[in-house]
């Protein structure tokens, strides 16, 4: 990515949502030249499949499908299926985000039904501080679900979950969620401009 013709370099910013956010956190932790990372409703954990990179490995937190609930109309609610975070911010399934060179911005929806993004962001903050890093910025939106997408995208209340092969609810109340999407985008641009410099004119 640092070689790409549209990238100013030598440092890049990363933005990811859900599992993509956790992949960004791994990249920031294990790779060089990532100087700013935004995690939208990431977990900060390796949730489903252990990850290996060079000499690093992080085991998966795992889940128990017996904790799946039926919400309504046959839609599933998986918010409580992940295993407990034993040991808090020193849990071995946590991504070693203290290794990241640059700052991390956590954006979370308080009504996230994929996982408890807000709790996870707090644990990530504790981990960074336990390792002598600055307290990260966490922006938390009420009534907001899992998929905080760019402004004016319709809210996705439920969809097929590839892991379960069944439809699950993602949380969010349309009005609050839509407002969060508009605000989150501005916050993301401010964060990247601050840490990566002004956006080039295209
Ligand atoms: C990473 O950043 C350093 C400067 O901090 C630069 O010298 C190097 O070329 C960059 N690496 C890549 C792959 O862009
Ligand atoms: C994060 O997830 C929560 C719960 O699923 C959700 O309420 C919230 O809208 C999500 N936030 C974003 C920015 O996707």
**Among 22, 77, 111, 112, the one annotated catalytic:** 112
Nearest ligand 2 atom, CA 40: 13
- Residue of 115, 141, 184 best suited for mutating to test ligand 2, as the one with most atoms within 8 Å of CB: 141
**Which ligand minimizes its atom distance to the CA of 77?**
2
Nearest by Cα to 43 from 65, 19, 27: 19
**Along the 202 residues of the chain, how does pLDDT read in single tens digits?**
888 888 887 889 999 998 899 999 999 999 999 999 999 988 888 988 999 999 999 999 888 989 988 988 889 988 888 888 888 899 999 999 999 999 999 998 887 767 777 888 999 999 999 999 999 999 988 877 777 778 999 988 899 998 889 999 888 889 999 999 999 999 999 999 999 988 767 6
> What pTM was estimated for this model as a whole?
0.85
Q: Which domains does the chain possess?
A: 12-62+88-151+172-196 (3.40.50.1820)
Please indicate whether residue 1, judged by its CB atom, sits closer than 6 Å to ligand 1: no
């Amino acid at each position: 990515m640092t070689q790409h013709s549209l990238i100013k370099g030598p440092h890049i910013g990363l933005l990811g949502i859900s599992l993509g956010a956790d992949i960004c956190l791994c990249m920031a932790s294990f790779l060089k030249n990532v100087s700013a990372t935004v995690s939208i409703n990431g977990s900060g954990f390796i949730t489903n499949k252990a990850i290996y990179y060079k000499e690093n490995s992080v085991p998966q937190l795992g889940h128990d499908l017996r904790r799946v609930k039926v919400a309504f109309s046959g839609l599933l609610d998986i918010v409580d299926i992940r295993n407990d975070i034993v040991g808090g911010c020193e849990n071995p399934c946590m991504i070693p985000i203290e290794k990241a060179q640059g700052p991390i911005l956590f954006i979370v929806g308080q009504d996230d039904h994929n996982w408890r993004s807000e709790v996870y962001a707090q644990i990530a903050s504790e981990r960074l501080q336990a390792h002598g890093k600055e307290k990260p910025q966490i922006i938390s939106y009420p009534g907001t679900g899992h998929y905080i997408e760019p402004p004016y995208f319709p809210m996705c209340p439920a969809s097929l979950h590839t892991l379960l092969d069944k439809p699950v609810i993602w949380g969010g109340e349309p009005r609050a969620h839509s407002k969060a999407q508009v605000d989150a985008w501005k916050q993301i641009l401010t964060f990247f401009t601050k840490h990566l410099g002004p956006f080039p004119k295209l």
